[in-house]
Structure 1
Amino acid sequence: MIRRYGETVRKGQRYKRRPGVYAILLNGADILATHQAEPTPEFQLPGGGIDKGEHPIAALHREVFEETGWKIDIAQRLGAFRRFTYMPEYDLWAEKLCTVYLARPVMRLGPPSEAGHSAVWMAAKDAVHLLGNEGDRAMLAGVLGIDPPR
């Protein structure tokens, strides 16, 4: 069973399943996150949706590059969680199936190419409290070996 985080499922609401891949990008005690300006400003694990026909690993490389400008080296798959949420940028009620990988940023290739995103380095112990969704925070806390914030 895949753990669910976030909003309660709304009765009668149809959700479209949206698989995505995300990365915990550690460099020592720091993490590379992305800050998304809209629709709600928040820090996130870099990543996003897998396009039709796209391999998840290729999607992860693409999404991390678009949101941070960095090339990465993927170490391992950590796990997955689900979130039920409204995505205003797509006018979509989504069941997000979020698969998270541990990876290492290896080279900055340029600025983020995705509008409204910026790459942000922060202490991983601070990111556990600053990331915008409970699933991201729990996955990072697991990597750090600490209790997730409530």
Structure 2
Amino acid sequence: MIRRFGPTPQKNRCYLRRPGVYAVLRLGDQVLLTHQARPVAEFQLPGGGIDPGESPIPALHREVYEETGWTITGLRRAGAFRRFVYMPDYDIWADKLCTIYTARPVRQIGPPTEPAHEAVWMPAQEAARHLGNSGDRHFAALLAAR
């Protein structure tokens, strides 16, 4: 059974399953996050949805690059969680199945290509407190303690 974070799903609401991949990117005592300015300003673990026909690992490489401008290596699956949310960018209610990886940032190729995103380095012990959802906070705190 996969742990759920956030609000309980509403009984009369139809949710679209939305698989995604996200990463805790640690380099020394720092963690690389993305700050999304809109629709709601918040810090997030870099990552996002897996496109139809796309495999999870290439999706994670793509999403991290789009949101931070960095390449990554050394991926290891850390766990997964579900959250039931409204996604205003897509105008859908989603059952987000979030798979979390650890990875090491290798090189910054350029700025994020995803609009309204900014790459932000933060001390690992501090990062979890700033993340916008409880599932991200859980995994960031768990992995920062290692």
TM-score of the aligned structures, taking structure 1 as reference length = 0.95
Matches within 5 A, 1:24-39: 24-39=24-39
Deviation at 1:74, TM superposition (A): 3.0
Segments of 4+ moved more than 4 angstroms: none
The residue that corresponds to 1:116 in the other structure is 116
User: For 1:141 and 1:126, how far apart are their aligned partners in 2?
Assistant: 9
The residue that corresponds to 1:3 in the other structure is 3
Matches within 5 A, 1:17-96: 17-96=17-96
User: For 1:122 and 1:145, how far apart are their aligned partners in 2?
Assistant: 15
In the alignment, is the contact (CA less than 8 A) between 2:125 and 2:145 conserved in 1? no
User: For 1:17 and 1:40, how far apart are their aligned partners in 2?
Assistant: 22
User: For 2:10 and 2:135, how far apart are their aligned partners in 1?
Assistant: 19
Alignment identity in percent?
Answer: 62
In the alignment, is the contact (CA less than 8 A) between 1:34 and 1:44 conserved in 2? yes
Deviation at 1:128, TM superposition (A): 1.1
Uncovered stretches (5+) of structure 2, i.e. residues with no partner: none
User: For 2:32 and 2:43, how far apart are their aligned partners in 1?
Assistant: 10
Secondary structure, in 3 states, of the residue corresponding to 1:128? helix
Corresponding residue pairs, total: 146
User: For 1:68 and 1:86, how far apart are their aligned partners in 2?
Assistant: 24
TM-score of the aligned structures, taking structure 2 as reference length = 0.97
User: For 1:76 and 1:130, how far apart are their aligned partners in 2?
Assistant: 23
In the alignment, is the contact (CA less than 8 A) between 1:74 and 1:101 conserved in 2? no
